[in-house]
A and B are shown apart, each in its own frame.
Chain A
């Protein structure tokens, strides 16, 4: 089925560890996005990629890096995890005014 695949679904990290969240889409969309969701805060944009080869900061980029590997894949890296990065992370893809399609989310806990 067409959609967005995120891995892993759950992760526990120790403070200072690094990890990469993977996202792949098979909808042939140019734009891909990483959001984080925290209680009472809605979804906030971390980084986005409007097309292959380009990335831009969103609302809350500090502590994260991204790579748009190709049109299908957009990864999010935490170089040195902090407890404040405990959150649920969503990858999404969309084009023009079509509604986004979201991945199933990654629940990350940093202890």
Chain B
């Protein structure tokens, strides 16, 4: 079974500062993928970034980076230079080869960016 834990129900950050959203995971799969999604107040699910379990380097996509620590089973999302438009719910998710590629989600972190 797969499990994703996001321990921060809510986070606040000042505009232009960096913020880290925590995510830990548990799986027995050797091959898996980790994802972050953003859900703004409008409700759509927006894919942000992906990290494969065998990727040696941390994934980056613009202002988003994924701090992957495999031994600690953590996959934290780092947002640099926060913008007001980053205010949203953020979900960590994982997908394992042994789970028929189903995505398992954490409960989410609500990020608020203050001006």
The total number of A-B Cβ pairs within 8 Å is 58
* Cβ of A85 under 8 Å from chain B: no
Interface pair A97/B50, CB less than 8 Å apart: yes
Q: Flag whether A48 is at the interface (Cβ < 8 A).
A: yes
Q: Is the CB of A104 within 8 A of B43?
A: yes
Interface residue B12 (Cβ < 8 Å from any Cβ of A): no
Q: How far is the CA of A104 from the CA of B91 in the complex (A)?
A: 16
Complex contact A33–B103 (CB within 8 A): yes
A96 within 8 A of partner (CB): yes
Query: What's the nearest-Cβ distance from chain B to residue A2, in Å?
Result: 14
A94 to B52, CA, bound (A): 15
21 examples of A-B residue contacts, CB within 8 angstroms = A31-B100, A31-B101, A33-B102, A33-B103, A42-B4, A43-B103, A44-B105, A56-B100, A90-B45, A94-B101, A94-B103, A97-B50, A97-B52, A99-B35, A99-B50, A100-B35, A100-B47, A100-B103, A102-B44, A102-B45, A105-B44
Contacts from A to B (Cβ < 8 Å): 31, 33, 35, 40-45, 48, 50, 56, 58, 88, 90, 92, 94-97, 99-102, 104-105, 107
Partner-A contacts on B (CB < 8 A): 4, 9, 33, 35, 43-45, 47, 50, 52, 91, 93, 95, 100-108
